[in-house]
Chain A
């Protein structure tokens, strides 16, 4: 089954404790992206990646890191989480066809609480 998986689905942590949220897709997609969803703000892009070893900042990259060492995986790293990073996070992937809007497939989400 074609899917995007994220782990963990729920995480409660404390300020300053490094954490990683994993994202994996089995559709051989070139493009992957991370979003955060906050009430009243909709979804905002954190980082995206066009392909292996190619990443770029989205609208709200501060406090986050990403890496793309393999095509299927795109982990989101919070080196020193803070309470304002409490949010619902989504990973997404799509195939890359230049000049055409491709459908993005979303993971189920990770609800993160930073105390």
Chain B
């Protein structure tokens, strides 16, 4: 079955540091890939997505590129802020729109 593996956290960074959260996937077909973010006490919200190979999703300074050859969708941001502290979930969607999530990576950004 489909699966998503993302790096374990927490990831602890200082403000303005560079962020990478690794995500790799296993899927039989050609899934769409997503990053969702969960701020403390809230539900998940879409951060960015890519629907086919080599697509780059971007939003709020975050970006991720759909790499079919390495089955990866790593999340990056050039300069993190304290307000980026949250849990980040990598996910893939099969043609039935069923989402398979990674276990989440907590990001803690200190001033």
Residues of A with Cβ closer than 8 Å to B?
Answer: 4, 31, 33, 35, 40-45, 48, 50, 58, 90, 92, 94, 96, 98-109
4 closest residue pairs by CB, A with B: A101-B32, A101-B93, A42-B103, A106-B43
> In the complex, which of the residues B45, B92, B98, B102 has the most CB atoms of chain A within 10 Å of its own CB atom?
B98
Residues of B within 8 A of A109 (CB): 42-43
B interface residues, how many (CB within 8 angstroms): 24
User: Are B103 and A40 in contact (CB-based, < 8 A)?
Assistant: yes
User: Are A101 and B103 in contact (CB-based, < 8 A)?
Assistant: no
Contact with A along B93-104 (1 / 0, CB 8 A): 101111101111
Name the prevailing secondary structure of the B interface residues.
strand
Q: Which of B40-88 contact A (CB under 8 A)?
A: 42-46, 49, 51
With the chains together, A98 CA to B97 CA distance in Å? 8
In the complex, given contacts A101-B51, A106-B44, A109-B43, what are 4 additional A-B residue pairs having Cβ atoms less than 8 angstroms apart?
A44-B101, A98-B95, A104-B97, A105-B46
